[in-house]
């Protein structure tokens, strides 16, 4: 692993994004638009928006980052770029960390815009500190990015990469406690939800909604989300192939 090669990869990815305004608009604006729609779905029910808004502030960026990064990495392979890069001294981990740095910078901006919109113009009220809400939103976006990079190794086409969205994320969305408290689920489902990273992302946001301070449970949830992201990056480096079969 080389810091110089990792930074060079990050600069290359950011340069590609700069020349792709539609992807940048999707990354930065789609979560904001979804949160805006959610606010008006609960128009006249501010308490309901205050309850579910923080949780979806973490979920929406995760979904968008997963979709964009899985397709972006697959495109590197199908275009032959990845094969050419890996014939150079650039290692697999250098490549994935470079992607992580580039999209991590986008995630920071994405979370800043979404948090400013919900806490400002949309009037979201949370008991916890706003910086903690922002930190969890960033961690969720980074988790989506890492999962997207991981699953791209198992897709042969961009269509297959998109198919991983319902296969990987929708079960987590159903079991994360967003619709039904996890404590009220059947035993096997509750145990399954305990090993899914999105459950901890939603738990952290839910606790920030009702708790004024930063308790150990929030930090533990944040650590699990971050750990799952790092694990996904490591697995992605281990399974990264030069060619798409």
Per residue in 188-240, pLDDT (tens digit) is 999 999 999 999 999 988 888 888 778 888 899 999 999 998 898 888 777 76
Instruction: Flag whether pLDDT at 93 surpasses 80.
Output: no
Q: If you count DSSP H runs as helices and E runs as strands, how many of each does the chain have, helices first?
A: 11, 0
Separation of first and last alpha carbons in the chain: 26
Angstrom distance (rounded) from CA 109 to CA 7: 19
Q: Can you give the pLDDT at residue 13?
A: 81
Calculate what percentage of the chain has a pLDDT beyond 70.
89
When comparing pLDDT for 119 and 44, which is higher? 119
Provide mean pLDDT across the span 239-243: 59
Confidence of residue 71 (pLDDT cuts 50, 70, 90): confident
Q: What is the dihedral sign for C-alpha 236, 244, 160, 81? A: positive
Q: Which of 175, 195, 197 is nearest to 184 (CA)?
A: 175
Q: Can you give the pLDDT at residue 19?
A: 83
Left (φ > 0), alpha (ψ -120 to 50) or beta: where does 103 sit? alpha
Q: Can you give the pLDDT at residue 83?
A: 52
Q: Can you give the pLDDT at residue 58?
A: 84
Cα 192 to its chain centre, rounded Å, is: 20
Q: Which of 83, 106, 77, 89 is nearest to 15 (CA)?
A: 106
Q: What is the pLDDT of residues 103-147, one digit of tens each?
A: 888 888 988 999 899 888 888 888 888 888 888 889 998 898 889
Q: Which of 20-29, 72-81, 145-154, 192-201 ranks highest by mean pLDDT?
A: 192-201
Angstrom distance (rounded) from CA 218 to CA 8: 35
Residues with Cβ within 8 Å of 82's Cβ and at least 6 positions away in sequence, in order, are: 76, 95, 240, 242, 243
User: What pTM was computed for the model?
Assistant: 0.84
Q: Do the beta carbons of residue 239 and residue 153 sit within 8 Å?
A: yes
Residue 10: phi and psi, rounded to 5, are -60, -40
Q: Can you give the pLDDT at residue 215?
A: 80
Q: Do the beta carbons of residue 228 and residue 220 sit within 8 Å?
A: no
Calculate what percentage of the chain has a pLDDT beyond 90.
14
Cα 38 to its chain centre, rounded Å, is: 19
């Amino acid at each position: 692993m080389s810091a110089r090669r990792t930074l060079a990869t990050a600069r290359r990815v950011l340069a590609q994004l700069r020349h792709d305004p539609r992807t940048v608009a999707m990354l930065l604006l789609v979560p904001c638009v979804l949160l805006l729609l959610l606010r008006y779905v609960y128009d006249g029910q501010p308490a309901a928006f205050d309850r579910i808004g923080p949780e979806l502030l973490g979920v929406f960026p995760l979904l968008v980052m997963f979709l964009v990064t899985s397709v972006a990495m697959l495109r590197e392979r199908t275009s032959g770029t990845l094969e050419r890069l890996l014939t150079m001294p650039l290692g697999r981990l250098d490549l994935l960390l470079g992607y992580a740095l580039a999209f991590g910078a986008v995630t920071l901006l994405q979370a800043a815009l979404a948090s400013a919109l919900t806490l400002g113009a949309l009037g979201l009220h949370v008991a916890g500190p706003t910086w903690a809400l922002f930190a969890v939103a960033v961690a969720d976006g980074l988790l989506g990015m890492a999962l997207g990079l991981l699953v791209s190794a198992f897709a042969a086409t961009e269509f297959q990469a998109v198919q991983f969205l319902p296969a990987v994320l929708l079960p987590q969305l159903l079991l994360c406690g967003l619709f039904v408290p996890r404590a009220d689920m059947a035993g096997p489902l509750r145990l399954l939800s305990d090993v899914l990273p999105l459950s901890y992302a939603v738990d952290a946001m839910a606790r920030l909604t009702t708790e004024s301070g930063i308790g150990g449970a929030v930090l533990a949830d944040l650590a699990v989300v971050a750990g799952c992201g790092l694990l996904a990056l490591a697995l992605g480096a281990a399974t990264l192939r030069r060619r798409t079969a």
